[in-house]
Chains A and B, each alone.
Chain A
Amino acid sequence: MNNQKTNQLLVLFILFTVSLFAQENYTISGIVKEAENGETTFGASVFLKGTTIGAVSNEYGFYSITAPKGNYTLVVSYIGFADVTQEISLDQNFKIDFEIKEDTTQLDEIVISSEEPERVSLRSPQMSVTKVKVATIKKMPVVLGEVDIVKAIQILPGVTNTGEASGGFNVRGGAVDQNLVLLDEAIIYNTSHLLGFFSVFNADAIKDVKLYKGAIPARFGGRVSSVLDVRQKDGNANKFMLTGGIGAISSRLAAEGPLFKDKGSFLIAGRGSYAHLFMKAADEENSANFYDLNLKTHYKINDNNKLYLSGYFGRDNFNFEGGFKSGYGNLSGNLRWNHIFNDKLFSNASLIYSKYDYDLDLDAFEFDWVSSIKNYNIKYDLKYYASDKVKLDFGVNAIYYDFDPGAIKPTSESSPINALQLDKKKAFESGLYINAEHKLTDRLTAQYGLRYSSFSRLGGQSLMNYENNQPVVYNKNLGIYQSGTAVGETDYSKGDEIETFSNLEPRLGLSYQLNESSSVKAGYSRTAQYIHLLSNTSAVTPLDVWTPSGKFIKPQLSDQFALGYFRNFKDKAYSFEAEVYYKTVDNRIDYIDGSDLIGNNTIETEILNGESRGYGLELLLRKSKGRFTGLFGYTISKSEQRTLGGNAGGPGINNGNWYNTAQDRTHDFSLTGSYKLNEKWTFGSNLVFQTGRPVTYPNGQYEYEGVSIANYSDRNSNRLSSYHRLDLSATYVPNRKPNNRWKGEWVFGIYNVYNQKNAASVSFGQNRETGANEATRTSIFGIVPSVSYNFKF
């Protein structure tokens, strides 16, 4: 498809919507904020009581609703906050900003007055999405008392990870690199601290977290599995405040307050772990630590213009004295300009930079290894509240990537290693989208959108050519895949495009409201992913490198279908969601036997293009009111992949058979609850059970070179034993005077209460003393008690 066609579609959309609001309608618009700290509220519903007219506040708190002339009761509701109602006589356009207050009575089981706090989410065609407030995450028991957003979302059905000491997360059987992780819109390439023990998000600096497991809205692109949209707090606009905590692993301190004479606010949050983490007492010279810094500030130029600046910097360091030093981390920054054109048209322009780099200095081997990925990103997003029936989102996005897959430098005169710079790669990705949320009838709402994405791998490097255009060939004689024969290079100059791809990605959603408390939804989305994380290990590692699509690697294309049933009951204290999904991914990279990815300039000789598919049923029951709140999630699913020989010939990887991906979990069950006993004590617990990770076990052995050699069966055809654990926590808020500014709390936790030795891996080998073959289980966390102290001042 070409650009022109997309433009035609865009014009069509706009014409269509213009015709819809030629009646005598008026608009109410404004910003929803929290009264206590002035933070804008994302996802508050603003609606006219007794009608189906309403809207949800956007990421910047902005809402706009349009209704025919008349008298209405306007209600603003947001979970955990008291409803705000206002009588309104709609005979002109209004601009009203609302301040909402935390509902302190809610926890004493007094039914809050809200008519329909969840009505919009029942009605919205958006499915497969979960929003989690950081306040909820903070109540969950966590390992070593470190509040962790990435671990918290794994409680949700359809979300898992590879193990306790592994980075990232997997959504609906997808791989870690298929998640688009955004921190204030900036792409975060690695979400882990300390190889996955903790995540890069400092909960004190985060406002909310939204995870799209499917049905990804048209405004997001570039990943096929999910979007994790993490938003930082703006900072308290009313008063100066300190928040902090002292934990077993790290300490945190955040300062926030008003700025520019109440025209703005700032937040600065830092977190640092203690050195010598996890290290055996005897190894005092060795250390591992991490730190990070979050920044946010905003400035209100006037009612219609606001500037936001946010930044993140995080770093991990490992130092093994005399052996090696390694460091890695993310850096990101975003400058945004919110502009309200009028009461119906909201816009945001963003300039974003992000970078991830990895550095390893090997004293023992006298060389240094560095690699990085950087991108510059420009976005312009608009939201047009066309009428009470139609809302439009549209925008453009352009990203320039700079990949440095690795450089090796000798670090001493005597180093036996020669210097090497792998070819740097450059690419340009762009997107253009439009999406309409269209209320077709009182019960039926549709969401239809289209994203046009395009990706160019840019020149400025040379690429190897291969005999018969086969970077990988099947050696029929030995029955293995090998590198193809290189036959010279082609040099691409800086102006050249090595390869260009473009895709049209339709996104569709429908919701039909069955009655006041239940609805059914259906969705379809097509997504394209142009950059890939090269990783042939079970879990991703910090040194895995990203690589762009190009001459040898095609973009991943995914189609996902989902169907769901949603219901609120018992006065909306409970909600129940059930979804089924089926998805396919084309051009999923797979790795030939014995593939070598690090320090390899010709990755194409190690990979084949395969496909993957997954399907599942997810159930989620939540209780969000009362002394006891919690959720119960269950998923039954399948995730598998297949890679045929294709151009390389031969049967393909794993003989061309479908096999389980490392993310396949048949059953995944979690129960999380929090019980507020009284003003002083709150208790929490997690219970998690899931099918073990697919692994490959030996099916025989023989002696060769004086050692026992295992022969392995088909890839991922065995499983680790099931993973399960129970965690408990208790939060104690000491007695304090109501007017005391200092608010402290103690959090006591026990992770893995019954000390289950869950296998992170099982390895097979010979005992070096006896020579006998044995299976060795590695487990990461046994029972881990923790205490931390948090305060606000």
Chain B
Amino acid sequence: MTTISRIIIVVILASIIFTSCTDVIDVDVPEAESRLVIEASIDWEKGTSGSDQTIKLSKSTPYFEQQSVPATGASVKVTNANDGTFFIFDDQNNGAYTTNSFIPELNQSYTLEIIYIGETYTATETLTPVVDIEDIYQSMDKGISDVLEINVDFQDPANEENFYFFKIQEQADALPTLFDIKDEFVDGNLINIFNERDEDEDINQEEYQPGDSVDIEFHGISEQYFEYISLLIIQFEATDNPFGTIPVPLKGNCINESNRNKDAFGYFRLTEVVKSTYIFQ
């Protein structure tokens, strides 16, 4: 989904929110069989060797039973599709599988192979580069309310399709804010991303205050991952409002070779990432 339509939907929502009231209720939800969840995020931070990488495996659970169920005992391997170099990720017996010898190569295709309880899961992706962040600063005058905002500026390369993923996490918060960006309407421009928070007593949320620390991750992503993460973000932002789209099953790229009806949740991504921390003045 493009940024434009997202913004517009948010606007429509803002219009009805004033009229409605919300409350948390008990709902009976269906329970599907548990599946393997693959969080294989190979992120190469600019300026590092990128040799230390972790892949997390877990099991899905019923919607209201949010415990973490690590998947252990799997064999996990990532292969450079060009020269066949492979990297074995070692089982840490807590759902994490690690290596310290990964060799990242921009625009290179890699494959993932996981064998878990007799079933083989595979995925293929390309390590996508990212431009540098031009500036990180704060402001008050953007957005809908006059409150503190964090801004990130970066220069989109002209005449090529680019896709980006941002993760902004205020250190004291339980949850991050995720953004996906496509340069469709902003190709070649200096792009500005800002994030503000409104006070919300219901969830004990305050506006950004001087002294708050915000961690920023800025990833270059593939078009295929963009399709995945943008749908994920929309659905994460809980859009079954009267004007929301019908939520759909999220399909990643990790295929169960033994049984296509039990493809893994999650995704095998390879990105170049810029990380930074900003403290509000």
- Chain A: residues with CB nearer than 8 A to chain B? 162-163, 165-166, 195, 197, 278-280, 283, 286, 288, 318, 320, 322-324, 326, 360, 362, 364-365, 367, 369, 408, 416-418, 420, 477-480, 482, 536-539, 541-543, 591, 593-600, 662, 695-713, 715-718, 757, 759-780, 782
A sample of 20 inter-chain contacts (CB < 8 A) reads A195-B15, A288-B15, A320-B14, A477-B253, A537-B244, A538-B244, A600-B2, A699-B63, A700-B63, A701-B62, A703-B37, A704-B266, A711-B265, A712-B235, A718-B29, A759-B25, A765-B236, A768-B205, A771-B66, A774-B24
Q: Which chain A residues border B241 with CB–CB below 8 Å? A: 760-761, 763, 778
Further pairs besides A598-B9, A701-B66: 20, Cβ < 8 Å: A278-B19, A322-B145, A416-B192, A478-B224, A479-B260, A536-B246, A598-B2, A599-B185, A700-B63, A704-B37, A705-B176, A706-B169, A708-B66, A710-B236, A712-B249, A760-B20, A768-B205, A771-B66, A776-B25, A777-B22
| Identity of the chain B residue whose Cβ is nearest the Cβ of A288 in the assembled complex | B15
Q: Which chain A residues border B1 with CB–CB below 8 Å? A: 594, 596
Please indicate which of the listed interface residues B4, B14, B167 has the most CB atoms of chain A within 10 Å of its own CB: B4
A278 adjacent to B18 (CB under 8 Å): yes
| Identity of the chain B residue whose Cβ is nearest the Cβ of A592 in the assembled complex | B248
Please, how many angstroms separate the alpha-carbon atoms of A769 and B27 in the complex? Answer: 20
Please indicate which of the listed interface residues B1, B26, B239, B247 has the most CB atoms of chain A within 10 Å of its own CB: B247
Please, how many angstroms separate the alpha-carbon atoms of A415 and B86 in the complex? Answer: 46
B205 adjacent to A537 (CB under 8 Å): no
Q: Which chain B residues border A704 with CB–CB below 8 Å? A: 37, 39, 232, 265-267
Q: Can you list, as one digit per residue, whether each of B84-122 has a CB less than 8 Å from chain A (1) or not (0)? A: 000000000000000000000000000000000000000
Asked if B133 CB lies within 8 Å of chain A CBs, one says no
Please, how many angstroms separate the alpha-carbon atoms of A324 and B10 in the complex? Answer: 11
Please, how many angstroms separate the alpha-carbon atoms of A441 and B205 in the complex? Answer: 76
Q: Can you list, as one digit per residue, whether each of B240-264 has a CB less than 8 Å from chain A (1) or not (0)? A: 1111111111111101000010010
Please, how many angstroms separate the alpha-carbon atoms of A764 and B5 in the complex? Answer: 21
Q: Which chain B residues border A322 with CB–CB below 8 Å? A: 143-146
Given A761-B241, A762-B27, A775-B27: A711 touches B60 (CB 8 Å cut-off): yes
Q: Which chain B residues border A712 with CB–CB below 8 Å? A: 235, 247-250
Please, how many angstroms separate the alpha-carbon atoms of A162 and B2 in the complex? Answer: 26
Count residues of B near A (Cβ-Cβ below 8 Å). 94
A761 adjacent to B244 (CB under 8 Å): yes
Q: Which chain A residues border B250 with CB–CB below 8 Å? A: 709, 711-712
Q: Which chain A residues border B66 with CB–CB below 8 Å? A: 701, 708, 771-773
Q: Which chain A residues border B239 with CB–CB below 8 Å? A: 763
Q: Which chain B residues border A598 with CB–CB below 8 Å? A: 2, 4-5, 8-9
Please, how many angstroms separate the alpha-carbon atoms of A420 and B178 in the complex? Answer: 26
Please indicate which of the listed interface residues B24, B248, B260 has the most CB atoms of chain A within 10 Å of its own CB: B248
Q: Which chain A residues border B160 with CB–CB below 8 Å? A: none
A79 to chain B, nearest CB (A): 37
3 nearest interchain CB pairs?
Answer: A765-B238, A598-B5, A323-B144
Q: Which chain A residues border B143 with CB–CB below 8 Å? A: 322-323, 364
A779 adjacent to B244 (CB under 8 Å): no
Please, how many angstroms separate the alpha-carbon atoms of A57 and B248 in the complex? Answer: 52
B81 to chain A, nearest CB (A): 15
A162 adjacent to B34 (CB under 8 Å): no
Within 8 A of A (CB), among B202-253: 203-205, 224, 227, 230-232, 234-253
B25 to chain A, nearest CB (A): 5
B151 to chain A, nearest CB (A): 12
A778 adjacent to B11 (CB under 8 Å): no
A360 to chain B, nearest CB (A): 6
A702 adjacent to B61 (CB under 8 Å): yes
Please, how many angstroms separate the alpha-carbon atoms of A509 and B237 in the complex? Answer: 51
A702 adjacent to B266 (CB under 8 Å): yes
A596 adjacent to B63 (CB under 8 Å): no
B21 to chain A, nearest CB (A): 6
B240 adjacent to A762 (CB under 8 Å): yes
| Identity of the chain B residue whose Cβ is nearest the Cβ of A279 in the assembled complex | B18
A713 adjacent to B246 (CB under 8 Å): no
B245 adjacent to A764 (CB under 8 Å): no
